[in-house]
Amino acid sequence: MISTRSVVLPVAALAAILFFPNPSNSQEQKPTPDASGQAAPQGQEKPKAQEDPFAPQPAPPLPPGMMGSDVNDPRAKLKPGMYDAGEIAKGLRHVAFVKKPSAFQLQATSADDPSVQKMLGQMGVGTTELQKMPKTLQVVIAQLAFANSDFAFQGNHLFQGNFYGVNIYDISNPAKTSLLTSMVCPGGQGDVSVYGNLMFMSVEMPNGRIDCGSQGFPPEPAPEPGKEKERRLPVAQKDRFRGVRIFDISDIKSPKQVAAVQTCRGSHTHTLVVDPNDKENVYIYVSGTSFVRQPEELAGCSGEGPEKDPNTALFRIDVIKVPVAHPDQAGIVSHPRVFIDPRSGVINGLNNGGSHGKGEEKPRDTDQCHDITVYSAIGLAAGACSGNGLLLDVRDPVNPKRVDAVNDPNYSYWHSASFSNDGSKVVFTDEWGGGLGARCRANDPNKWGADAIFNLKDEKLSFANYYKLPAAQGDTENCVAHNGSLIPVPGRDIEVQAWYQGGVSIMDFTDPTHPQEIAYFDRGPIDPKMLVLGGDWSAYWYNGAIYGSEIARGLDVFELTPTDLLTQNEIDAAKAVQVKELNVQNQQKLEWPSKLVVAKAYVDQLERSKALPANEVASLRKAIRDAEKSHLKGKHLAKLSAMSSEVEASAASAKTAADASRLQALGAILKHPVA
Amino acid sequence: MAGALPYFGSTPYQAHAQKASGPAVVQPGAPGEPTKALPPDAHATLPPISRADVDFMQGMIMHHSQAVEMTALIKSHTENKDVRAIGAKISSSQADEIRMMQRWLAARGQAISMEKSGAREMPGMPDMDMSGSAMPPMPGMLTREQMKALEKARGAEFDRLFLSGMIQHHGGALVMVKDLFSSAGAGQDAEIFDFATDVDNSQRAEIKIMQKLLEELH
């Protein structure tokens, strides 16, 4: 999330309806949003004097040759509401919703609570005005300052980052997810990772304090007459914190801060990196996207261009080394210049500003990474770095080296990345509009703000296709491609992904040129008349359930349900993969147990793709069923083993590589199934 | 708090023993310091908005307005496709941002322009400039003479004046962002932080593009 355009935050929204000074100066003409909730049609702009700054702006017409999203999708028109919005799902069951904890909200969420009126009173809203205010607006209380952000998982614990701290939930029974700990520690965005007893958290904003205080820093007091230009308070603050915090979470109800590593640009996101050859340390890749602070506050920080200062804090990432036994000794060990031109040595070698002709979208330099996904099993990382997508060799984790870089004429801001499990594909996301804008409207091109799926071979990326949420969303719903994770269905590449107020979409990209949606969940907009920030920041699969981090509302839990595009066997096979920890940007290789449930998933897929004739599918299913009934004993086991060679042999004549792999994997399980 | 805008403060947290059963609400200390318990019914608080935040938003509206004025000349003054393209981007993004800044100010009970900042008395803002005197122009803004020269120029001369003027103008925006983050207690509001960060990133990129275009003109 990076820009603040076309968005209204709820508290702001309600006050503003009452307050926006009408340029006509008529106090009686308080601007009221259009009753229809629709923006003015193209070419019929309202006269400026009556313009309502809170009304959403209409989407410009589709550029020639571009397609938009489907307005006839049932997700396109759901009932709005904060906690009572219309919901719709396909292939997913919404099993739990947990409201954002009160410690992370300004005040109560009921309009009748006196504290709501008190707060509004502090903002200057009088009793008369309050009576005119719709109740629904009064209860919409959330702000970017309290936005939920990314997830990490460990055992039965879910860690939900927030601009204001971290909330920790017990997910031992996902349908009964319950809050364990609200840890107040503001500074945004609160991107979070876990490793053993350690929890890491990103901080980038100037209100971040080393002591987790929520008071920020005092503003300059009013100047005395004649001394307006004098600055009396120091800007540099030794107690300010921007960087990566490290907590000991041995006591899950009372995390303790053990280290706080300061960086020049703070930490917008970070990535946990575990070197397979180094058990003593873990590493943190820090992506800073914000302003460089002054050297008086942190020595050595320079925000100059590379021409002026070769030691600029721009055009680099930061690497923190964390000794696992002594996390208090964590510190920065390198500042890799991942944008360098290796021939000339110029450190802004990927500066691509202006190469993307894209209408009204603002250009971006490549002087920062937004997020990096490391896949240590293949020694590579995919960097989503503002103006480019990068491929990094991370076999030496302290000194990542760029091996490839791509850009794309339809991409605005390279935001995040994930690998397919076999490392043959990378899915990048484009956070067009910064996540705060409505970018899934019928007139928003489906190649903009979309996933871009690349093939990866011999350390080279090549574009395959785009995938965007197929359902059109309203003009008060912030929506664009955002964070997702793989669902471990064997034999297929499936990603569950958050699209802010576009909801959750599950995409199959096994064939990268033909990505296909196979399941979804969506809610109506928070508000029908103005864009109120909300929706899913992240949607990740963890040990059998899908969790959605809803920015304004809280936490959602989903389960997959079978459809013609995903069978119960495939769901069960996905559930057979259990991990101890999940930090999505530290991607782990998925491995399936040699269980018959996994074999059944492959058989379903081979039936779906018609790689096996119906009679063979039937006899395989019967043999598997018999073996299960006999608890993998005797002649039934021998029968499976006998069938395995036949299955493996047919891999050679399979029409697609995906089917060939499925047949081989199926054969291997049939040969040596385990209980 | 003198000079502070109204904000949703509540009483400071006090340590209370947690109920064993309910969720814990805690606040860690600095590294090595203990974590303290907060009352289970604690609500969130925000740091105050500073005068520098309001000045930045009001000043940036004025600053952006001149950029929109400059781009409005393009259609009748030049046929250069590159200048037209960058001008269209600047016009559309800055017009959009002006609305965003107006909303930000309005939602906080602030005047949307500096000229009007004395016109409304807002609670908690006793220190606003009530003089109504014209505020100084923002960094990088073109002088009246520069604007006149731009209006008179056509074709390649316009392109040159437009690009050099807009580079100067954008450079001023970077100065304004730097000043914002160099003011005590400023930029702590999440929206203003994100917005100022975005201005810095995108205008840096636009300056590079315009410098390249300007070189190509020579």
- Tell if the CB–CB gap between A253 and B18 is shorter than 8 Å: yes
Low-confidence ranges of chain A (pLDDT < 70): 1-53, 107-143, 228-229, 231-232, 351-364
Cβ–Cβ contact B216 with A under 8 A: no
Selecting from B2, B123, B195 the residue whose C-beta is nearest the C-beta of A222 gives B2
Residue A349, pLDDT score: 85
Q: Classify each residue of A77-87 as buried b or exposed e, where b means 16 or more C-beta atoms within 10 Å of its C-beta.
A: bbebbbeebeb
Residue A231, pLDDT score: 64
Same domain, yes or no, for B27 and B56? no
- CA-CA distances (angstroms) from residue A445 to A65, A75, A210, A441, B123? 9, 18, 43, 8, 45
Q: How many domains does chain B have?
A: 2
- Among chain B residues, CA nearest to A296: B182
Chain B residues touching residue A180 (CB < 8 angstroms):
23-24
Same domain, yes or no, for B153 and B176? yes
Residue A412, pLDDT score: 82
Whether B2 is in a domain gets the answer: no
Does the pLDDT value for residue B94 go beyond 70? yes
Residue A633, pLDDT score: 82
- Residue A609's nearest CA partner among A473, A465, A511 is A511
Q: What is the mean pLDDT of residues B191-195?
A: 90
Q: Which of residues 241-260 of A touch B (CB under 8 A)?
A: 246-247, 253-260
Same domain, yes or no, for B25 and B113? no
Residue A211, pLDDT score: 97
Residue A410, pLDDT score: 84
Q: Sort strands A178-184 and B24-27 into parallel, antiparallel or unpaired.
A: parallel
Cβ–Cβ contact B99 with A under 8 A: yes
Residue B88, pLDDT score: 85
Same domain, yes or no, for B25 and B72? no
Residue B21, pLDDT score: 73
Residue A149, pLDDT score: 97
Q: Which residues contact A335 (CB under 8 A, 6 or more apart)?
A: A313, A316, A317, A318, A319
Same domain, yes or no, for B96 and B23? no
Question: Distance between CA atoms of A513 and A490, rounded to whole angstroms?
Answer: 20
Does the pLDDT value for residue B144 go beyond 80? yes
Chain B residues touching residue A119 (CB < 8 angstroms):
8
Question: Distance between CA atoms of B178 and A96, rounded to whole angstroms?
Answer: 45
- Tell if the CB–CB gap between B183 and A235 is shorter than 8 Å: yes
Domain of residue B39: give its range. 11-45
Same domain, yes or no, for B25 and B107? no
Q: Which of residues 106-135 of B touch A (CB under 8 A)?
A: 106-109, 111-112, 116, 120, 122-124, 126-127
Q: Which of residues 445-504 of A touch B (CB under 8 A)?
A: none
Cβ–Cβ contact A349 with B under 8 A: no
Whether B15 is in a domain gets the answer: yes
Whether B6 is in a domain gets the answer: no
Whether B29 is in a domain gets the answer: yes
First to last CA, chain B: 55
Whether B3 is in a domain gets the answer: no
- CA-CA distances (angstroms) from residue A416 to A137, A348, A371? 34, 21, 5
Dihedrals φ, ψ of A44, to 5°?
-120, 50
Same domain, yes or no, for B35 and B83? no
- Among chain B residues, CA nearest to A181: B24
- Report ipTM for this prediction: 0.87
User: Three-state DSSP class for A311?
Assistant: coil
Chain A residues touching residue B46 (CB < 8 angstroms):
106, 143, 145, 214, 216
Residue B209, pLDDT score: 86
Same domain, yes or no, for B32 and B136? no
Residue pLDDT, tens place only, A230-268: 766 778 999 999 999 999 999 999 999 999 999 999 999
Same domain, yes or no, for B155 and B67? yes
Whether B5 is in a domain gets the answer: no
- Among chain B residues, CA nearest to A220: B184
Cβ–Cβ contact A179 with B under 8 A: yes
Dihedrals φ, ψ of A6, to 5°?
55, 45
Q: Classify each residue of A227-261 as buried b or exposed e, where b means 16 or more C-beta atoms within 10 Å of its C-beta.
A: eeeeeeeebebeebbbbbbbbbbeebbbbbbbbbb
Q: Are A640 and A621 in contact (CB under 8 A)?
A: no
Q: Are A373 and A416 in contact (CB under 8 A)?
A: yes
Same domain, yes or no, for B143 and B84? yes
Whether B155 is in a domain gets the answer: yes
Same domain, yes or no, for B172 and B78? yes
- Tell if the CB–CB gap between A367 and B187 is shorter than 8 Å: no
More confident position, B9 or B170: B170
Whether B166 is in a domain gets the answer: yes
Determine which of A362, A370, A432, A527 to mutate to test the interface with B (most B C-beta atoms within 10 Å). Answer: A362
Residue A5, pLDDT score: 38
Q: Are A233 and A175 in contact (CB under 8 A)?
A: no
Q: Which CATH number is B198's domain given?
A: 1.20.1260.10
Residue pLDDT, tens place only, B29-50: 999 999 999 999 898 888 878 8
Q: Which of residues 39-68 of B touch A (CB under 8 A)?
A: 41-52
Chain A residues touching residue B42 (CB < 8 angstroms):
102-103, 184
Same domain, yes or no, for B39 and B98? no
Chain A residues touching residue B123 (CB < 8 angstroms):
122, 124
Residue A52, pLDDT score: 65
User: Three-state DSSP class for B56?
Assistant: helix
Chain A residues touching residue B18 (CB < 8 angstroms):
253
Q: Which of residues 14-53 of A touch B (CB under 8 A)?
A: 15-16, 19-21, 53
Angle between helices B81-107 and B155-181 (to 10 degrees): 30
- Among chain B residues, CA nearest to A188: B190
